[in-house]
Amino acid sequence: MTKYVYLFREADGKDKAKFGGKGANLAEMTNLGMPVPDGFTITTEACTKYYEDGRKINQEIIDQTFATLAIVEKETGKKFGDSENPFLVSVRSGARASMPGMMDTILNLGLNDVSVKGLAKKTGNPRFAYDCYRRFIQMYSDVVCGLGKSFFEVVIDEMKAAKGIKLDTEFTAEDLQELIAKYKEFYLKEKGEEFPQDPKVQLVGAIEAVFRSWDNPRANVYRRMNDIPSTWGTAVNVQSMVFGNMGDTSGTGVAFTRDPATGEKKLYGEYLMNAQGEDVVAGIRTPSTIDHLKETNEAVYNQFVAITQKLENYFKDMQDMEFTIEEGKLYMLQTRNGKRTANAAIRIACDLVDEGLITKEEALMKIEPKQLDELLHPRFDTKALKAATPIAAGLPASPGAACGKICFTAEEAMERAKSEPVVLVRLETSPEDIEGMNVAQGILTARGGRTSHAAVVARGMGRCCVAGCGALVIDEEAKTVTINGKTYTTEDYLSLDGSTGNIYAGKIKTVDAEIAGYFGRIMQWANEVRKLKVRANADTPADAKTARNFGAEGIGLCRTEHMFFAEDRIAAVREMIISKTVEQREKALAKLLPMQRDDFVKLYEAMGEYPVTIRFLDPPLHEFVPTKHEDIVALAKEMNVSYEELKETIDGLHEFNPMLGHRGCRLAVTYPEIAVMQTRAVIEAALIRKAAGASVIPEIMIPLVGDVKELKYVKEIVVKTAEEVMAEKGEKIEYHVGTMIEIPRAALTAGDIATEAEFFSFGTNDLTQMTYGFSRDDAAKFLNDYYDKKIFEQDPFQKVDQIGVGKLMKMAVADGRATRPNLKCGICGEHGGDPSTVEFCNSIGLNYVSCSPFRVPIAILAAAQAVLKQK
Amino acid sequence: MTKYVYLFREADGKDKAKFGGKGANLAEMTNLGMPVPDGFTITTEACTKYYEDGRKINQEIIDQTFATLAIVEKETGKKFGDSENPFLVSVRSGARASMPGMMDTILNLGLNDVSVKGLAKKTGNPRFAYDCYRRFIQMYSDVVCGLGKSFFEVVIDEMKAAKGIKLDTEFTAEDLQELIAKYKEFYLKEKGEEFPQDPKVQLVGAIEAVFRSWDNPRANVYRRMNDIPSTWGTAVNVQSMVFGNMGDTSGTGVAFTRDPATGEKKLYGEYLMNAQGEDVVAGIRTPSTIDHLKETNEAVYNQFVAITQKLENYFKDMQDMEFTIEEGKLYMLQTRNGKRTANAAIRIACDLVDEGLITKEEALMKIEPKQLDELLHPRFDTKALKAATPIAAGLPASPGAACGKICFTAEEAMERAKSEPVVLVRLETSPEDIEGMNVAQGILTARGGRTSHAAVVARGMGRCCVAGCGALVIDEEAKTVTINGKTYTTEDYLSLDGSTGNIYAGKIKTVDAEIAGYFGRIMQWANEVRKLKVRANADTPADAKTARNFGAEGIGLCRTEHMFFAEDRIAAVREMIISKTVEQREKALAKLLPMQRDDFVKLYEAMGEYPVTIRFLDPPLHEFVPTKHEDIVALAKEMNVSYEELKETIDGLHEFNPMLGHRGCRLAVTYPEIAVMQTRAVIEAALIRKAAGASVIPEIMIPLVGDVKELKYVKEIVVKTAEEVMAEKGEKIEYHVGTMIEIPRAALTAGDIATEAEFFSFGTNDLTQMTYGFSRDDAAKFLNDYYDKKIFEQDPFQKVDQIGVGKLMKMAVADGRATRPNLKCGICGEHGGDPSTVEFCNSIGLNYVSCSPFRVPIAILAAAQAVLKQK
């Protein structure tokens, strides 16, 4: 017989997998002798069983629940449904990882027509008792029975109007009884049965609701975003109610042992007198700081401070605690490692090491790599900022500095962000705006607080956000925003300071983030631990410089075609594309050669002695030609060819499935002269750097190889050209030729490919598309169905699919190294900056990961964590 | 030191890999004491070395050649370049597999200004000697020096005009000397040096030309079509010249020990008096039958007959022999297993077994499975044929019946064959016409005999051919052909009977092939041997019937969407697609249900007790809607929706990469109601058949699965629906649910997928596209470059790529069966009918292959051969 239900004192506080974070920590606090209201935890295994059984609670679990409940009743001397001393409980979810607000909670359970009287009698406060009861009916009807919230809100509003009052708190006990009668009548009508009077029925309903809420849409989205498997399940914590709303010697609060924004070591929290937990969260009343408690009840305050310190020392991390004071008596309701900003995270990690509480390795494990993103974006230049005067201010909702032209819709932002920096200005944001927010430099809203949609999402993205700026008058029709009398259009720049909330007209100079102070120490420790090298995907000297500043040890992917789109080059590229003969094509390529060579010289300069991997032309040629009639007409004129001829060439480039078309090394097979030009540029540039005293070892990467013979063919061209160039210049350099592994067949035949390739770089974007057989663009249409139906829990374009794609990667590394033991293996897909992917890459023995410059520190930390996790 | 050069008598006649087919058989004949002109073979290894060394003949090979040559000179008493008794040789290619006409031959080598006089003196025939010399210069200039043929043809024509003669044979010795002078002058002008007078230089040049010709474009195409690896290389046979053109006691001929068209056991051949080999092949003079030899020289005829019988008994197969009679003396120049029609192949195989020469197993191995294709195509309906009157007759060069519109060029045939049946009408065909011949229903030529290019190639392809119809007057310019006074254009149909040579105007009804007689015996033997089951891909009862007649043991793939395109259904399909709600969609699907159910009832009926695998809807929905403006307008009216609404729906279905888009099981995930309808149809149809006393076990196949959870999701819908249907009808049947393995990830995670799948069917079309990362449509653009550059030797859409795709298949079978030991595995891609793929499928332990009905016998034979080869 499996034991599914544990008293807090019986549970193993180390076993979060079984008891969830909340349950485990309640057990810890109980066993540390802290004042925790009695209760018990129903394990996550019970939740898993619930789903295994087709969403049915096993009878054994129900039996164990009531047996354990009986123990608690006995110990507290209270009884479920009692008319004198009723036992009331809260029922809360609690998964292994914290998922704040994602699942459901029910308070005051145990109240019915009888026990509400008992509560009134015992507290001498009938108004309090009936308020608890009506809240319970509301919550239960919504959460357990799915009747929604709106009916209840309407009824309350109607009664307020009838009674001529404004606040809930003005209701009398009699008003509340009237309300309860209406609630129950509604319940009867909707459900066809009376509101359950049996607390045991209530309890089973609530437990099931918690289990069910594990699978609600917002929990699923949260899990996908935070990488939490749906198989974990949630525990259920059933706990004696304590009440912070029993008068002025009662209250409730939330506190952190350190400042979650800065990491400063000081008790930080909020306290609300005569209130229940939900009042603090709902933001209806503004809480005081924790110091208020000191003033009103120093003894309890001191007791609390002692507990917080004990908890921090015990858990060796900053704690986020909920507590309630019921008529002068302190109860601890929850403790957990506190969420914090990236700035706070690195400071706390360093301080805890300095305080001797943890080791450097433990410090590294305490920081969520993705969070570092917040630290990597530009800030305003201090001087420039001093010279500027804000035109208005909003709430500093998400830190960082942003500067861009004004956009009023997400669509507009997505379109314009391709060519210029934009700031998204909205009355308020909604989930449909997410993509627009993502491409914007910053977000400015007229409405909403620091917990509004805009603020929450922007912080999640590491995007700067100023929220709730009431001074904005937005005219979406006219596409203008008026701020304090002055009107700005879509051609105007705004600068936003997400750390102060200030808004500036025009452009303010920004400075790049740098790695120093606490951040520098953390990076230093990570560098000492990690085995994987970290490179950057960079196509420009500017990107390369950013990457080096952030600690990159080379360029893992330079996409040469990005250089082809530049205005001064696209003409030559198009000339090459419409060429009919090799000679014409070579002539056009000759124009590109000096530019491309110069690109590489600058890139080598920026990377110093570090390796630079240059990928040869990859995209299908039709990406370089226009598709619209008028653009083709213009181009024909410019190119001095007939419209018909140009149109025919462009039509000839059409592909049914461009992803599976004429691109990558296939271009070099058809047009070897392109590879010749690119090789020339790479080698000539390296020789120029050598002449300047630098040492560069270029790595030439052939894309989209599926068969060793493709690579062999192109490599022969590269080697022949390189030898020619070196002979011309009378000087030799070392260079390497390798390949992307981005086609399933390349991974499957890696042993053969390694006979030619000196290095492998996994192109996990394409490898994922082809291994799954869907393209990212097209899959967007149906992936939501896949998430909804739990077929996928993760976006395979975010995190490498370790089971399928990962199997190919593992095979390729093993087979490649069987052929060539010193084969250098890396990854340059966008996955390269994803921490879970970095961990996977470490585990399969890659030499490096390469990611966007702004993700380099994230990858560095993730690489260190990967080593530590492996231990 | 490697020995590269062997006298015929030294060579191992069993080692075709080393000596090539021609060289090995010359060795065999020499060692059997047959009259073979002396000579030697340069091995295929020398050719391989030539390519390894970057197209350079190794000195050792040259040295060995001249050392061996010296032996032959000594034995024949002749000397290279001698003015009295000159030694002349032929230089011929000879690969392991016969590649007729694909590589180059040089005759009369050794002639120069001196030795030509020796030849004239020795033969007493100066005209003959100078004719040999001018032919040699022509051949050498073209084949060895690449100067082409046209100059020489022009000069001959000019001289004929000047001399007022019509035939080459009318030239006098003096004319020929004049011609030789012009040839040599041209050579000097073009090459900047004299025509080589040193026979050793000539010989090295010719050997190199043969090596080089291994890699000429038509040889490469031939190899690709016939599955011959480029690594094999060709041997070179250097042989004393003998002359069939030394007067009326000389001649040359080709003969078969059995009729290559029917297989009948009788000596069959052609003989041309006073001629050289090339005259027979070129078809300039029409040869007599072999009986002519009997009449003119019975002793030699009897000697020849005895040799042919000895050769057939020795090689245990029908022989195709070339011989020359020089002044009454017989010489054997070549023997090989003769090419034959499929009809002849099966008859000869059966006869050889009946004659006790070979076993049944050996008989099975003698038939090329692909060739059976010829037997599986329609013949003219006897009645219709009787009613028709031929408008002319040619030679019955390749059997079968063909009916199509007239085309005059291969290009035109390739273009028009996409939309209509065509018949290729040519004066004569050349290697450049091969692709056009391949797409044509039949080939009709005005010139050439049964051994002409057209005839040989058509037989190889199993294509109907009528050759040498002198009645044709072709006007390529006007695109007309006039036959006995009546003119036909490209819009007219011709019907050709390749078995009689008759040509008919218009269309003649054809009837299907059947398996009986010799064919039936061969299939019976194959059935006894093979392990693989053979199923057919069939979507209609007619296809299913054809498949059963050809021996199919079930349907491996029924593409249900093919039923959706029918005129009476497409409206309901479109209604489903433009539905906005599940209810609308279900309503539209309800219309399709009875039709689909009826389809299945008929399919089950046609297949009797055999299994039927039904694949659920697979293509992206946009394939069912129109794309042209006017069609959308019409549909909108028909569907009673606004144009805008319909256009929006259609636009919404657009995909960037349809191959990687919303299709296969992804449709069922989004629209489970489609799977519900299809399951209903499958199960209801099976219950109807059960009620009629039949037993059907439907196999439901879910396409495009990449993750076990996709399959699980759809399977649950299928099972739930099936249970519902069976409960409704109060009757149970057995059914299975399996999946296509056509996405790399499915193969990689086959162990997981087998937890849900009861069978696997490899969809090698898609699996190939995704494993290689190119789509068939788009790859067509660059695959020619890949063939030209030897990156690919085979079309991976014809033959399964055993290295990459095959690795996935092997893994999937092994991993799938590790999970589910009795997992049934098959293949239903188009590769299923390719013999080499069948062999591979046998080797990895598949249970069945499924192919088009017309390929079923091919697969059956290939499956038997696979077992025999494995032994």
Please, where are the H alpha helices in B578-642?
582-607, 629-639
Backbone torsion region of residue A413, taken as left when φ is above 0, otherwise alpha when ψ lies between -120 and 50, otherwise beta = alpha
Q: Are B404 and B259 in contact (CB under 8 A)?
A: no
pLDDT confidence of residue A15: 96
* β-strand partners of B612: B555, B698
Cα end-to-end distance, chain A, whole Å: 35
CA dihedral A48, A50, A51, A56 (to 10 degrees): 180
Mean pLDDT of A272-285: 67
Mean pLDDT of A210-222: 87
Q: Which of A403, A825, A828, A851 is catalytic?
A: A828
Burial A88-112 (b: 16+ CB within 10 A, else e): bbbbbbbbbebbeebbbbbbbbbbb
pLDDT confidence of residue A273: 86
Q: Count of alpha carbons within 13 Å of A18, Cβ hemisphere only?
A: 14
For residue B580, is pLDDT > 70? yes
For residue A871, is pLDDT > 90? no
> Among B649, B748, B815, which would you mutate to test the A interface (most chain A Cβ atoms within 10 Å of its Cβ)?
B748
For residue B64, is pLDDT > 70? yes
- The 8-class DSSP code of residue A287 comes to P
For residue B277, is pLDDT > 80? no
* B799: its two tokens: 């033959």
* A719: its two tokens: 């080697």
Q: Is A748's CB within 8 Å of B804's CB?
A: yes
pLDDT confidence of residue B20: 96
Q: Is A743's CB within 8 Å of B713's CB?
A: no
Could you identify the residue written with the tokens 């250098």?
A: A824
Q: Is A771's CB within 8 Å of B749's CB?
A: no
Q: Is A659's CB within 8 Å of B660's CB?
A: yes
Pick from A123, A220, A249, A137: nearest CA to A183? A137
Q: Which residues of B touch A710 (CB under 8 A)?
A: 786, 791
Q: How far apart are CA A17 and CA A11, in angstroms?
A: 12
What are the CA-CA distances from residue A152 to residues A156, A178, B453 (Å)? 6, 13, 92
Chain B: nearest CA to A627, how far in angstroms? 15
Q: Bigger pLDDT: A451 or A643?
A: A643
Q: Is A770's CB within 8 Å of B744's CB?
A: yes
Q: Is A662's CB within 8 Å of B744's CB?
A: no
Measured in degrees and rounded to the nearest 5, phi and psi for residue B483 equal -125, 115
Chain B: nearest CA to A783, how far in angstroms? 9
Q: Is B657's CB within 8 Å of A786's CB?
A: no
Q: How far apart are CA B657 and CA A772, in angstroms?
A: 13
pLDDT confidence of residue A450: 64
Sheet holding B464-467, edge to edge: B392-393, B502-505, B493-497, B401-407, B422-426, B442-445, B464-467, B395-398
CB atoms within 10 A of CB B788: 13
Per mean pLDDT, which range of A246-255, A301-310, A392-401, A427-436 is the poorest? Answer: A427-436
Pick from B441, B498, B492: nearest CA to B469? B498
Q: Is A707's CB within 8 Å of B745's CB?
A: no
Q: Are A674 and A668 in contact (CB under 8 A)?
A: yes
For residue B284, is pLDDT > 60? no
Band (pLDDT 50/70/90 cuts) for residue A220 is confident
Per mean pLDDT, which range of A573-587, B273-287, B658-672 is the poorest? Answer: B273-287
Q: Is A774's CB within 8 Å of B666's CB?
A: yes
Q: Which residues of A touch B674 (CB under 8 A)?
A: none
pLDDT confidence of residue A285: 63
pLDDT confidence of residue B640: 86
Q: Is A657's CB within 8 Å of B660's CB?
A: yes
Measured in degrees and rounded to the nearest 5, phi and psi for residue B496 equal -120, 135
Mean pLDDT of A832-854: 94
Q: Which residues of A touch B662 (CB under 8 A)?
A: 778, 781-782
Q: Give me the residue from B666, B749, B786 closest to A804, CB to CB.
A: B749
pLDDT per residue over A732-764, tens digit each? 999 999 999 999 999 999 999 999 999 999 999
Q: How many residues does chain A have?
A: 871
pLDDT confidence of residue A290: 86
Single-letter amino acid code for the residue at A115: S
Pick from B216, B238, B212: nearest CA to B4? B238
For residue A374, is pLDDT > 80? no
pLDDT confidence of residue A829: 84
Per mean pLDDT, which range of A612-626, A692-706, B158-172 is the poorest? Answer: B158-172
Q: How far apart are CA B426 and CA B474, in angstroms?
A: 8
Q: Which of B464, B469, B665, B828 is catalytic?
A: B828
Band (pLDDT 50/70/90 cuts) for residue B196 is very high
Pick from B258, B254, B262: nearest CA to B283? B254
Mean pLDDT of B795-811: 95
* Mean of per-residue pLDDT scores for chain B: 92
Single-letter amino acid code for the residue at A117: K
Q: Is A669's CB within 8 Å of B803's CB?
A: no
Band (pLDDT 50/70/90 cuts) for residue B462 is low
> Among B745, B756, B802, which would you mutate to test the A interface (most chain A Cβ atoms within 10 Å of its Cβ)?
B745
For residue A385, is pLDDT > 90? no
Band (pLDDT 50/70/90 cuts) for residue B708 is very high
Q: How many residues does chain B have?
A: 871
Q: Give me the residue from A752, A778, A792 closest to B661, CB to CB.
A: A778
Query: Chain A: residue nearest B705 by CA?
Result: A772
* β-strand partners of A472: A483
Q: How far apart are CA A654 and CA A639, in angstroms?
A: 20
Single-letter amino acid code for the residue at A807: K
Q: Give me the residue from A745, A791, A808 closest to B709, CB to CB.
A: A791
Q: Is B745's CB within 8 Å of A804's CB?
A: yes
* A580: its two tokens: 């009919």
Band (pLDDT 50/70/90 cuts) for residue B456 is confident
Chain A: nearest CA to B749, how far in angstroms? 6
**What is the SS3 string spanning B301-352?**
HHHHHHHHHHHHHHHCCCEEEEEEEECCEEEEEEEEECCCCHHHHHHHHHHH
CA B342 to chain centre: 13
CA B742 to chain centre: 27
For residue B631, is pLDDT > 90? no
DSSP E strands in A61-199: the ranges are 79-80, 86-87, 89-95, 105-109
Mean pLDDT of B262-279: 85
Q: Are B235 and B47 in contact (CB under 8 A)?
A: yes
B83 Cβ neighbours under 8 A, 6+ residues apart: B114, B115, B117, B118, B121
Single-letter amino acid code for the residue at A643: Y
pLDDT confidence of residue B806: 98
Q: Are A403 and A441 in contact (CB under 8 A)?
A: yes
Mean pLDDT of A100-118: 88
What is the percent of chain A with per-residue pLDDT over 70, rounded to a whole number? 97
Q: Is A773's CB within 8 Å of B713's CB?
A: no
Band (pLDDT 50/70/90 cuts) for residue A278 is low
DSSP helix/strand/coil, B260: coil
Q: Which residues of A touch B661 (CB under 8 A)?
A: 774-775, 778-779, 781
Please report the sign of the dihedral spanned by the C-alpha atoms of residue B386, residue B391, residue B394, residue B400.
negative
What are the CA-CA distances from residue A816 to residues A53, A536, A541, A750, A822 (Å)? 46, 23, 32, 5, 9
Q: Give me the residue from A707, A745, A808 closest to B748, CB to CB.
A: A808
For residue A418, is pLDDT > 80? yes
DSSP helix/strand/coil, A24: helix
Q: Is B771's CB within 8 Å of A660's CB?
A: no
pLDDT confidence of residue A119: 94
pLDDT confidence of residue A452: 66
What pTM did the predictor assign?
Answer: 0.84
Please compute Rg for chain A using Cα positions: 32
pLDDT per residue over A627-670, tens digit each? 888 889 988 888 888 999 899 889 889 898 999 999 999 999 99
* β-strand partners of B849: B534, B827
Mean pLDDT of A604-619: 95
Q: How far apart are CA A538 and CA A557, in angstroms?
A: 6
Q: How far apart are CA A831 and CA A844, in angstroms?
A: 15
Q: Give me the residue from A706, A771, A775 closest to B661, CB to CB.
A: A775
A145 Cβ neighbours under 8 A, 6+ residues apart: A187, A190, A191, A205
Pick from A401, A402, A395: nearest CA to A469? A395
Chain B: nearest CA to A465, how far in angstroms? 34
Q: Which residues of A touch B773 (CB under 8 A)?
A: 660, 704, 706, 742-745, 766, 770
CA dihedral A832, A838, A844, A850 (to 10 degrees): 30
* A171: its two tokens: 């209701």
Q: How far apart are CA A397 and CA A455, in angstroms?
A: 5
* DSSP code string of A702-732: E-S--SHHHHHHHHHHHHHHHHHHHHHHT--
pLDDT confidence of residue B518: 95
Q: How far apart are CA A22 and CA A95, in angstroms?
A: 7
Q: Give me the residue from B745, B772, B781 closest to A771, CB to CB.
A: B745
* Mean of per-residue pLDDT scores for chain A: 91
Q: What are the contacts of B484-489 at 24+ separation with CB within 8 A?
A: B484/B391, B484/B392, B486/B391, B488/B406, B489/B406
* A28: its two tokens: 């810890």
DSSP E strands in B468-538: the ranges are 472-475, 480-483, 486-489, 493-497, 502-505, 510-511, 533-537
Q: Is B666's CB within 8 Å of A782's CB?
A: yes
Q: Are B710 and A791 in contact (CB under 8 A)?
A: yes
A407 is annotated as an active-site residue: no
Query: Chain B: residue nearest A658 by CA?
Result: B657
For residue A280, is pLDDT > 80? no
Q: Bigger pLDDT: B808 or B384?
A: B808
For residue B461, is pLDDT > 70? no
* A672: its two tokens: 């070897």
A453 is annotated as an active-site residue: yes
Q: Bigger pLDDT: B433 or B333?
A: B333
Q: Report the helix count and the strand count for chain A, using DSSP H and E.
A: 35, 33
Q: Are A625 and A645 in contact (CB under 8 A)?
A: no
Q: Give me the residue from A655, A707, A773 closest to B706, CB to CB.
A: A773
Mean pLDDT of B739-747: 98
Chain A: nearest CA to B647, how far in angstroms? 18
Could you identify the residue written with the tokens 């630079």?
A: A612
Q: Give me the residue from A656, A659, A748 closest to B807, CB to CB.
A: A748
CA A693 to chain centre: 44
Q: Which residues of A touch B786 (CB under 8 A)?
A: 669, 710
Q: Which of A453, A665, A841, A851 is catalytic?
A: A453
Q: Angle at CA B184, nearest 5°, toward B178 and B188?
A: 145
Chain A: nearest CA to B192, how far in angstroms? 28
> Among B741, B770, B790, which would you mutate to test the A interface (most chain A Cβ atoms within 10 Å of its Cβ)?
B770
